[in-house]
Structure 1
Amino acid sequence: MMLLIDAGNTRVKWALVDSTNAPGEWSAYGAVAHADMPQLELAWCEAAASHGVDRVLIANVAGNALRVQLEYVLQRCMPQMRAEWFASLPSLAGLTNGYRNPAQLGCDRFAAAIAGHTLAPRVPIIVVNCGTATTIDAVTADGVFLGGMILPGLGLMASSLARNTAQLPQIAQDGKLADGFADNTDDAILSGILAAQSGAIEHACAQHQAAECIISGGAAPYIAPMLKVPYRIVENIVLVGLQAVVRSAEQG
């Protein structure tokens, strides 16, 4: 059994998979905020005892401090296990990395692009991950990662307005948006940040002439309904990408 870990800027998500699992299908799954890291020890010790773990693959974009924490928890639960740290390469699992410096590409974006090409092969796609930041990336039909955009996520946009203006409030990014133009400040902020996110995605889809937009992340359910392009919501796209990497290696 393989333990896949997506260590993002806000949460750590993990899944247990084996060779029989379809893409995005987990034998076990969990997610915790950084502040709740002690919960991982119980979950991973249980997973190791119940299922057995023979490989650990981690995509970490949250820095060295979180890496040290993850290593500590894994050492306590699986002392004989040596974790593998996923990194962006020039090519992997059927995807060619077209970044000017391939190693500079965030490993989460690389994994998400691999997932997108695995789920929608042979067509040009845009892959969007709506987390703390929103990343919007283009992948060609023959599996070349072209590059993309990075912008603040919904929460960051909302908090930036509240923090840097005198009279604008902090709003919840999951509020219900009324039809038409907003007639109050909270809805005006929400309308603006949703339009900014969806507009950037639609711009990328038009520029790339994408056949499909694959969108993931915690804010995806709020942004996706605004889109006027074909889209598919895929949960935990970084984990799906790690799963595809493992499967590709197994198939030789």
Structure 2
Amino acid sequence: MSWLSDHLFGVPKPREAAAIGLASPTVDEAPAPTPDNPVVVAAATTAPASGEIQNYTVTTSNTLASDEPNAYETREVAAEWQVPVRGKLHKIEFEHGTTSGRRILWIDEKEIFRRDWMFKLVGDDVFELDELRCVLRVDPAPGFKYKYSLFVDGKPLDQFKQRQAKALRIWEATINETNYRVVLEKDTLNIFLNGTLREEEGEFMDNGTETKWEEDGNVFILSARNSGNKHDGLLHQLTINGAEIQSSNITE
């Protein structure tokens, strides 16, 4: 009866489903972004080949702040660095969830990027710090541990600090519970106070120059004198309210 009705009324009989072994695989598409699930800022720079470490590029100008109100207070830091750039000392902190794969980068207590459920626990993250390209590298270490390295402007952090030490002079002082950090760029003669460029011009004195300014009622005088030795060049000295301040070691 079924065969007869099919042929009399033109009702085609449905085909059997394809064999399981020949079925096309299904791919779960990523959910669309919502206010509760914002788009992660990091994006792969290139599609890595099989077995190749995946790189990510993150810029501070397009990052999203964490929705957690006390995220910074509850952070678990796996690695921390102090990076001197253009007269300011930046604190970089990195969270690395070795079970969840979560990665969070903090710069000066501000969340720069966050990624959850990373399948690869090792690899590079690329970001910018005051227009300098930085690379945070996670490598495997013996005993199911990880090694964290930071590269700034194409150099390991220690080499970058050594280069900065040759180009900068730094003084740090605390007056009335207020911290002051004075940085002199030797090549440009720019002076930074707590990361802010000063606009004062130096006055020519006997055998050198002297730059004077006031901040919070305190008198700063930065002088440059000829050492008389070609190898030593100019000698720089900072006084605050008449007291000499010893320079700091930028490589520490």
Which gives a bigger RCO, structure 1 or 2 (Cα 8 Å, sep 6+)?
1
User: Which structure's CA Rg is the greater one?
Assistant: 2
Structure having the larger proportion of residues in helix = 1
TM-score (norm 1): 0.22
Q: As a proportion of its length, which structure holds more strand? A: 2
**TM-score normalised by length of structure 2:** 0.22
